[in-house]
């Protein structure tokens, strides 16, 4: 396995104004050497160990581009906007959390899929995508990096494939938690508290979180002893569970909670291999 320095990217610790990872900003490292596509794939696979996960789509190299790589662009989703920005940045490879291919797609290359693939292939750009493995990495993953942004150090894991994180954190109320989350992420967050406004004022000692669309982890968070669960999205059943179980639910945005892992991991790999790296934020209200 590739040996990488065990330190986190300073720019992923907070979402304060002026932070290079803040909304609408781009962060780049100085160009260095080039490596082969296979070397970069081995570096990503060595860190993220995709074979350990049962996932919703293929992890690793999703679209093959040029054989030699010196510039890597990272982003959250392989959208057309990100691909076009990577072309402008003269990237050889794109590293994302949300790739192009998912279980259940019908497989036809038309419309938006054609547009994205056409751009990648025409410009010979490699696309690397890691979904659950990037959520789970204990240092550079989405959950670890969101924890750093929020000041929470995971003490244990819970839920399917141990993706959820649990930590001790003292707050006077669930409302104080959601206020902290909203300030750190730079956007509003939705709180469903037990007992309505009065329930929002109950003291909090344990927080649980799982980034993105992890609302189905709420029951596991309740069983793990959390007072508040933070994720990206909320579905209809979770509102009732929050009111009935005494555990508050916070939905802080799918994109908003998952915009820290990809740049943190890609930057660390790029530093280790002497590659240029640039994180490109494509704003998303979700």
At 235, list the tokens.
């579905």
Structural domain total, the chain: 2
Could you tell me which of 136, 158, 161, 133 has the C-alpha nearest to residue 146? 136
DSSP state of 265: H
Same domain? 233 vs 251: yes
Mean pLDDT of the chain: 91
Contact 26, 280 (CB under 8 A): yes
Task: Give the pairing type, strands 164-171 and 156-158.
Answer: antiparallel
Q: Residue 200's pLDDT is what?
A: 75
At 50, which CATH number?
3.40.1390.30
CA distance 264 to 41: 17
For residues 186 and 121, membership in a common domain is answered with no
pLDDT of residue 76: 99
Q: Is residue 143, in this structure, part of any structural domain at all?
A: no
Residue 3 lies in a domain: no
- Label residue 195 by pLDDT band (50, 70, 90): confident
The pairing of strands 93-98 and 71-77 is parallel
Residue 1 forms part of a structural domain: no
Alpha-helical (H) ranges within the chain are 37-48, 80-88, 111-122, 132-136, 142-150, 174-185, 196-199, 218-224, 236-245, 254-257, 261-273
| Residue-wise pLDDT tens digits, 55-108 | 999 999 999 999 999 999 999 999 999 999 999 999 999 999 999 999 999 999
Q: Give yes or no for residue 133 having a pLDDT over 90.
A: yes
**Domain for residue 220, yes or no?**
yes
The separation between CA 136 and the C-alpha centre of its own chain, rounded to angstroms, equals 9
Task: Give residue 17's pLDDT.
Answer: 34
For 202, the 3-state DSSP assignment is coil
When pLDDT is averaged across residues 226-239 and rounded to a whole number, the result is 98
Assign 117 a pLDDT band (cuts: 50, 70, 90).
very high
Specify whether 103 is located in the same domain as 125. yes
* Same domain, yes or no: 210 and 168: yes
Measured CA distances, 122 to 36, 83, 135, 252 (Å): 19, 11, 30, 37
Percent of the chain with pLDDT strictly greater than 90: 85
For the chain, what is the largest distance between any 2 Cα atoms, rounded to a whole number of angstroms? 60
Q: Which domain holds residue 223?
A: 152-257
Distance separating alpha carbons of residues 200 and 267, to the nearest angstrom: 38
20-24, 52-56, 117-121, 213-217: which range is least confident on average? 20-24
Cα(245)–Cα(174) distance, integer angstroms: 14
Residue 6: partners with Cβ closer than 8 Å, 6 or more residues away: 139
Q: What is the pTM of this model?
A: 0.88
Closest CA to 167 of 206, 131, 204, 194: 206
- Backbone phi, then psi, for 165, in 5-degree steps? -120, 145
Are 193 and 118 in a shared domain? no
Residue 118 domain-assigned (yes or no): yes
């Amino acid at each position: 396995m590739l040996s990488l320095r065990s330190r986190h990217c300073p720019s992923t610790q907070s979402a304060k104004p002026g932070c290079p990872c803040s909304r609408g900003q781009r962060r780049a490292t100085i160009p260095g050497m080039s490596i082969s596509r296979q070397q970069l794939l081995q570096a990503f696979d060595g860190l993220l160990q995709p074979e350990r996960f049962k996932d919703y789509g293929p992890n690793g190299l999703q679209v093959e581009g040029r054989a030699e790589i010196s510039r890597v662009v990272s982003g959250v989703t392989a959208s057309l906007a990100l691909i076009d920005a990577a072309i402008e940045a003269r990237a050889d490879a794109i590293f994302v959390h949300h790739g192009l291919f998912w279980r259940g797609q019908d497989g036809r290359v038309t419309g938006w899929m054609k547009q994205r693939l056409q751009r990648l292939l025409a410009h010979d750009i490699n696309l690397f995508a890691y979904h659950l493995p990037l959520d789970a990495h204990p240092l550079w993953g989405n959950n670890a990096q969101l924890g750093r942004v929020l000041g929470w150090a995971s003490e244990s894991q819970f839920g399917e494939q141990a993706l959820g994180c649990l930590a001790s954190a003292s707050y006077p109320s669930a409302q104080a938690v959601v206020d902290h989350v909203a300030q750190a992420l730079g956007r509003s967050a939705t709180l469903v508290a037990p007992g309505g406004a009065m329930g929002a004022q109950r003291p909090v000692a344990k927080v649980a979180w799982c980034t993105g669309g992890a609302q189905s982890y709420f029951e596991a968070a309740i069983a793990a002893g959390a007072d508040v669960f933070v994720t990206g999205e909320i579905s209809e059943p979770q509102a009732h569970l929050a009111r009935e179980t005494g555990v508050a639910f916070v939905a802080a945005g799918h994109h908003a909670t998952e915009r820290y892992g990809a740049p943190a991991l890609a930057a660390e790999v790029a530093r280790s291999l002497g590659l240029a790296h640039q994180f490109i934020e494509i704003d998303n209200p979700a």
